[in-house]
Amino acid sequence: MKNLLLISGFSLLLFFTSGCKKPAIQKTNYNKVWNKDYIDSVDFDIVRSTTDFAIRLFKHAPENNNIFLSPLSISYALAMTYNGAENETKQQMASVLGFSFDKEQVNAGFQSISGDFNSYNEYFIVSLANSIWAQKNYSFLPSFIENCKKYYQSGYHEADFISQTDLSRKEVNKWVSAKTNEKINDLLSENDVTTDTRMILVNALYFKSGWLNSFEESLTSERDFFLESGDKVNVKMMLENSENYLLYKNDSLQLISIPYKGHIYTMNILLPQKRFSLKEITKKLTFDYLTYLEKSMTYDAVNVYLPKFGYTYSTDLSEQLASMGMKDAFSENADFSGMTGKKDLILSKVIHKTFIDVNEAGTEAAAATAVVMLERSSIFENRIDFIADHPFIYYIKNNENGTILFIGRLWDPNKH
């Protein structure tokens, strides 16, 4: 029996609806093409801001290796943190996260879409969870805690980071592992949690689904994958040639949308037309450009060649976020007085860990994000070939509300 692919992670990016009434679930038309103007019926400004954050975060990621981020998870964890930010710290966070609206609208937006990411049916599993781990007997404002509970359905846990540091860390890791189907383990290392830790805010995101059209295992074969260095490696290349796919191509790239069962989620792949040109494509990537590419896709007969791949990615996003403009949060200038009524906390780390497995049956993925607060101190001739045999960008998207759950770069399929 084929295994479904799994993606899980602690760090997610959410796209909010600012109090807009949500339309009915979108239906595909007779040829299974999504209505490309659907996004215009929801709160476009919020979708734009959060999608833009996803792209900017991806472009700030380290070069020359595999990466896999969940901007949805990251945004969710940082949105909870944003509730406690004030003054310049608040303004910097809003600028980086793309929040052009007040805290109440941010909270209401996350609350309104949370149901989209807690679904279990015959087609897919999607789960999203938040939690707060707070130092016992520390004076956190009840209003901050209640907002996290009300709008983010955040669980609240007392911890003793001062006298039971490692035990508290292990409890957080245990929660993360359970929420990601044991795909994200040991999110926090011993160095991440200290006796100075006062609060950890965590988001966990898990996704599992089969392809709408499975890749036949009998068609998987050994092929070359050409690296940016000019070298090549041998990979297991899957092939699906039984259906039509949304596709766009120009002189520099191809964009294909591969649907999962139920049509709501897709994996979209940006593949350079020329080998060794992924960095050029990445530099051009913006929200408007990506929207243009997606709306330009048409349904075509395609032979889809996609390598099997899977890996775990882990990083501390602190420097990345600071370089994007969120500097004060990580410095002595931090103002999180919305958490305690005093300027006694700074943001120490934003730990992000993800997992993805892509095979013939589907995808499994997971992500987790922890924000750590410290106290100061068969091929038909008439079909188009889409051959992903060199580095590419891929992202998993919810086509009902426009959110990007995960975005990654496959640099070398043989590196795990």
Q: Domains for the chain: give ranges and CATH numbers.
A: 5-214+308-377+395-410 (3.30.497.10)
For the cut 60, the answer to whether the pLDDT of residue 7 exceeds it is: no
pLDDT of amino acid 154? 95
pLDDT of amino acid 105? 85
* Triad 123, 127, 128: Cα angle to 5°: 150
For the cut 70, the answer to whether the pLDDT of residue 18 exceeds it is: no
pLDDT more than 90, % of the chain: 73
Cβ 138 vs Cβ 94: under 8 Å? no
pLDDT of amino acid 13? 26
For the cut 70, the answer to whether the pLDDT of residue 12 exceeds it is: no
pLDDT in tens, 218-266: 999 999 999 998 899 999 999 999 989 999 999 999 999 999 999 999 9
b vs e for 2-24, b when ≥16 Cβ sit within 10 Å of the residue's Cβ?
eebbbbbbbbbbbbbbeeeeeee
Give the range among 39-48, 97-106, 155-164, 399-408 with minimum mean pLDDT.
39-48
Give the range among 93-102, 107-116, 299-308 with minimum mean pLDDT.
107-116
Q: What is the DSSP letter of 124?
A: E
For the cut 80, the answer to whether the pLDDT of residue 46 exceeds it is: no
- Provide the pLDDT confidence category of residue 110 given band limits of 50, 70 and 90: confident
Say how far apart CA 333 and CA 343 lie, in whole Å: 9
Cβ 204 vs Cβ 182: under 8 Å? no
pLDDT of amino acid 44? 53
- Dmax (CA) for the chain in angstroms is 71
Cβ 43 vs Cβ 86: under 8 Å? no
Give the range among 51-65, 155-169, 374-388 with minimum mean pLDDT.
374-388
pLDDT of amino acid 402? 86
- Provide the pLDDT confidence category of residue 25 given band limits of 50, 70 and 90: very low
pLDDT more than 70, % of the chain: 88
For the cut 50, the answer to whether the pLDDT of residue 289 exceeds it is: yes
pLDDT in tens, 347-357: 999 999 999 99
pLDDT of amino acid 35? 41
- Provide the pLDDT confidence category of residue 5 given band limits of 50, 70 and 90: very low
For the cut 70, the answer to whether the pLDDT of residue 37 exceeds it is: no
For the cut 50, the answer to whether the pLDDT of residue 291 exceeds it is: yes
Give the range among 91-95, 242-246, 293-297, 399-403 with minimum mean pLDDT.
399-403
pLDDT of amino acid 63? 87
Torsional sign, CA 122, 5, 213, 47: positive
CA distances to 75, 79, 238, 361, 390 from 227, in Å: 32, 37, 18, 26, 6
| H-helix or E-strand spanning residue 240 | strand 232-240
Tokens of 377: 């101190």
Torsional sign, CA 403, 397, 42, 23: negative
pLDDT of amino acid 134? 96
Torsional sign, CA 110, 114, 116, 117: positive
Say how far apart CA 215 and CA 260 lie, in whole Å: 12
* Rounded mean pLDDT, 155-175: 96
The pTM of this model reads 0.87
Tokens of 53: 């954050």
For the cut 50, the answer to whether the pLDDT of residue 377 exceeds it is: yes
Mean pLDDT computed over every residue of the chain: 86
Q: Supply the DSSP string of 256-282, one letter for each residue.
A: EEEEBTTSSEEEEEEEESSTT-HHHHH
Cβ 173 vs Cβ 199: under 8 Å? no
| Contacts within 8 Å (CB) and 24+ apart, 59-65 | 59/282, 59/283, 59/285, 60/320, 60/323, 60/324, 61/320, 61/409, 62/315, 63/279, 64/228, 64/411, 65/411, 65/412, 65/415
